[in-house]
Every structure is written in C-alpha cells, then in structure tokens.
C-alpha cells in the first residue's frame, strides 16, 4: 500500500526521488551529478539504429554516449517527466524529450526503465515511442 502524507498525497519512494533528481541534473547540464546517480558498472541500453544505439557499459561509456548526444544537438536535451514510478528494485520514467538539431526541433515521448542496486541505478533501457523518427532525427 502506498504511503500517504498527512494531506492525502502519496509520498514518493526514495528511488522515485532518485530518478527525478537525476533527470533534473541532466536537464540542468550537471553531468557529474547525473552520472553519479548510476552504479560504476551501470549498463545503459539505447534502442534503435542512431549513432547512440547499443549497450554502454560503465559510467565512462555512458558518459561518453551522453557527451556525444549533447554534442549532436544545438542545445542540451530537455526531458519533461510525465510520470515516475519506482520501488526498491525497479523504476520507470515516462518522459517527453525536447531535442533541437540543425534548427529543427522534435518532441520524443519515451519510456526509460531502470534497475536499482544499493541505492544507485544499475541498468537502464531507453525506448522512444517512435524509435524510427528519433533514429532519423539523429542520423
């Protein structure tokens, strides 16, 4: 049963807060805080066929992938959280990413699934709802 605060609002699970803070760090360009929210041996699975696609092992590879991503864009990506769900082992962010490249902007609804271990994100799956459109945009 979800915990409730005194005014009837559901209190967030600590891993939900962890995901929201990591997203805020990425939106704010604080890559150290963003990368630090992940386990040293994190595995990041980026779907599709863009230059970002594949499995990125460890903080260094994940950081390099995000550096490449930011470098492809005119401005840093922004992800608006539609909802965030988390428990002790798993989490999901439902987001809309706003990306601008070559003066063109695309809004990409996506689901980001997470595993947690020892209070950190240990595995991530990024899945755009229209992967073909995202791949074409990043090609």
Q: What per-residue confidence (pLDDT) applies to 12?
A: 85
Supply the DSSP symbol for 9. P
Of 61 and 5, more confident: 61
**Are the CB atoms for 37 and 105 separated by under 8 Å?**
no
**Residue ranges of domains in the chain, CATH in brackets:** 14-138 (3.10.450.50)
Q: What is the rounded distance in angstroms from the CA atom of residue 64 to the CA atom of residue 118?
A: 24
pTM of the model: 0.88
pLDDT value, residue 8: 54
Query: Strand 78-86 and strand 90-101: pairing?
Result: antiparallel
pLDDT for the residue numbered 3: 47
- Residue-level pLDDT at 119: 93
Distance, in Å, from the CA atom of 139 to the CA atom of 54, rounded to the nearest integer, reads 14
pLDDT of residue 38 exceeding 90, the answer is yes
Q: What span, in angstroms and rounded, lies between the C-alpha atoms of 29 and 84?
A: 20
């Amino acid at each position: 049963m979800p915990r409730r605060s005194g005014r009837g609002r559901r209190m967030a699970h600590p891993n939900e807060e962890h995901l929201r803070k990591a997203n805020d760090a990425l939106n704010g360009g604080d890559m150290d805080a963003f990368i630090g929210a992940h386990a040293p041996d994190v595995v990041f699975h980026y779907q599709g066929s863009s230059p970002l696609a594949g499995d990125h092992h460890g903080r260094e590879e994940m950081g390099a992938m995000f550096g490449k991503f930011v470098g492809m864009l005119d401005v840093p990506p922004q992800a608006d959280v539609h909802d965030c769900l988390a428990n002790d082992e798993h989490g999901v962010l439902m987001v809309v990413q706003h990306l601008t490249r070559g003066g063109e902007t695309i809004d990409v609804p996506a689901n980001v699934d997470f595993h947690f271990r020892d209070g950190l994100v240990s595995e991530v799956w990024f899945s755009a709802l229209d992967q073909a459109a995202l791949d074409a945009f990043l090609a």
